[in-house]
Copies of this chain bind each other. A is one copy, B any other.
Amino acid sequence: MDTCNKISKFMQKSGHECRVMGVPKTIDNDLYGTDHCPGYASAAKYVATSTMEIYHDARVYDTPMVCVLEVMGRNAGWLTASTALAAYKGAGPDLIYLPEIEFDMDKFIVNCKKIFEKSGKLIVAVSEGIRDKNGKYISEYGSDLASEKDSFGHAQLGGTAQVLADILKKELKCKTRAIEFSLLQRCAAHLASATDVEEAFTAGQKAVQCAVDGTTDHMVAYERSEKDGKYVCNYVLVNLDKVANTEKAVPREWINKEGTGLTQDYINYALPLIEGESKPPMENGLPRFAKLKKVLAKK
């Protein structure tokens, strides 16, 4: 949105007529001025569904099971929060840590021990960007652990989830597993939310209509309302100056007091967004993707 704004201002300054409309898009869901962002709900649906499946996988065997799930999000925990939807359905993480809250390693270990000792199972979801009170990324703790070796004589290092899984392995004295949703959480089109897909199309359409009608320097934003008790999405315009370079975090009051889970407010916010399956076209049991062809103009 900052780039949209800069392009528009540059064109005006240099005397070119050019209308610039921003269409939001980010699975991070951290754009200011819009209730939510196109792409977020589909990624959230994927993360929540995969978390539920991992939860059930963990309960197939009658053995201890500790899993740390790593979800994208450097500064905003919206996508990690979506694992709370799995918990709401009774098949989610025991603990959820967002970058909005300072991460306290000692408290984390105490919380994990308590749950693990009770049930022999533990699932934790973390944002890749969680930091301690000094602003140090937990993923950077890996270097402090470099002296730890596994049975192969390997130093055990990696991303945020791997660092925490290694610490829990030592503290809980059991096998632990780190799972990164990695690129999959942002590209799993096969599990897109029908609501998200429809809203995204409409947002693009509105932007083109506005530009054609003479509007410029605005972003198409989503505004949430209700009709007969049901979720409705309205499309409004927000000035690009307002949107550029402002990040929207998960509100503190939507995170529980201990900073280890989400409140019902988040569940109510997210549930209508992930509604419906988009059912992409299939061919031979696999998704069929649209292909844009390069067409050379005739001379």
B-binding residues in A (CB < 8 A): 45, 48-50, 52-54, 56-57, 67, 85-86, 89, 91, 140, 142-143, 146, 152-158, 162, 177, 179-180, 182-184, 186-191, 193, 195, 271, 274-277, 282-287, 289
A189 cross-chain contacts in B, Cβ below 8 A: 53, 56
A86 contacts across to B, CB distance below 8 A? 286
CB distance from A293 to the nearest CB of B (A): 14
Q: Give the distance in Å from the alpha carbon of A67 to the alpha carbon of B179 in the complex.
A: 17
Q: Given known contacts A157-B154, A157-B155, is B187 in contact with A285 (CB within 8 Å)?
A: no
| A52 and B152 contact, CB distance less than 8 A | no
Q: Which residue of B lies closest to A137 (CB)?
A: B152
In the bound complex, CA of A67 to CA of B187 (Å): 14
Do B177 and A286 have beta carbons less than 8 Å apart? no
Report yes or no: A275 in contact with B271, Cβ–Cβ below 8 A. no
Contact present for B146 and A286 (CB under 8 Å) = no
> Which of A91, A156, A157 has the most chain B CB atoms inside 10 A of its CB?
A157
Q: Are A91 and B289 in contact (CB under 8 A)?
A: yes
Residue in B56, B156, B275, B284 whose beta carbon sits within 8 Å of that of A289 in the complex: B56
In the assembled complex, 8 residue pairs joining A and B whose CB atoms fall closer than 8 Å, in A order, are A50-B184, A53-B187, A54-B184, A56-B187, A89-B286, A195-B285, A275-B284, A276-B285
Question: Who on chain B is nearest to A194 by CB?
Answer: B285
Closest to A58 in B: B183
